[in-house]
């Protein structure tokens, strides 16, 4: 079981976004990002690997731990995470403790 980080370890500012489908002026479907939370987080690098699919892509896996947020917990893997200008896909959200913290497992291909 994961342990909750100390408050001093939560030193990374992130943005959690929800993807919203809208229509533009020419009635085409567009997916936009809506920021639903901007918490401080504790980041852990989990792993990285290379994937060969016509070209070499690098897969980055990270874990971010934030304080409990009901909206984030309800939407789970329908979210994205912005950190240092990169958009990560949220793969899973795990509750740590009883409504104390959430751990977001994210991935990104570079």
Domain ranges of the chain: 8-109
Spelled out in words, what is the top-level CATH class assigned to the domain 8-109? Answer: mainly beta
Taking the CA atoms of residue 41, residue 46, residue 52 and residue 56 in that order, the dihedral angle to the nearest 10 degrees is: 50
pLDDT of 1 strictly over 60: no
| Sheet with 56-67: strands ordered across | 12-13, 40-52, 56-67, 101-109, 86-96, 79-83, 15-23, 29-37
pLDDT tens sequence across 40-89: 999 988 876 666 666 667 778 899 999 999 999 999 888 999 999 999 99
Mean pLDDT confidence for 7-29: 90
Residues in the chain: 110
**What is the DSSP annotation of 41-77?**
EEEEEEEEEEEESSSEEEEEEEEEEEE--HHHHHHGG
pLDDT of 9 strictly over 80: yes
18/37 Cα distance (integer angstroms): 9
Measured on CA atoms in the order 67, 71, 21, 25, is the torsion positive or negative?
negative
63/90 Cα distance (integer angstroms): 10
- pLDDT confidence of residue 3: 76
């Amino acid at each position: 079981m994961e342990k909750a980080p100390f408050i001093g370890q939560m030193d990374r500012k992130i943005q959690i976004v929800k993807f919203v489908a809208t229509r533009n002026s020419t009635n085409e479907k567009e997916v936009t990002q809506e920021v639903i939370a901007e918490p401080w987080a504790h980041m852990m690098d989990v792993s990285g690997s290379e994937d060969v699919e016509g070209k070499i892509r690098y897969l980055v896996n990270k874990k971010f731990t934030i304080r409990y947020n009901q909206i984030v917990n309800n939407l789970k893997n329908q979210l994205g995470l912005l950190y240092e200008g990169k958009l990560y896909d949220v793969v899973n959200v795990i509750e740590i403790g009883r409504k104390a913290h959430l751990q977001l497992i994210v991935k990104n291909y570079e």
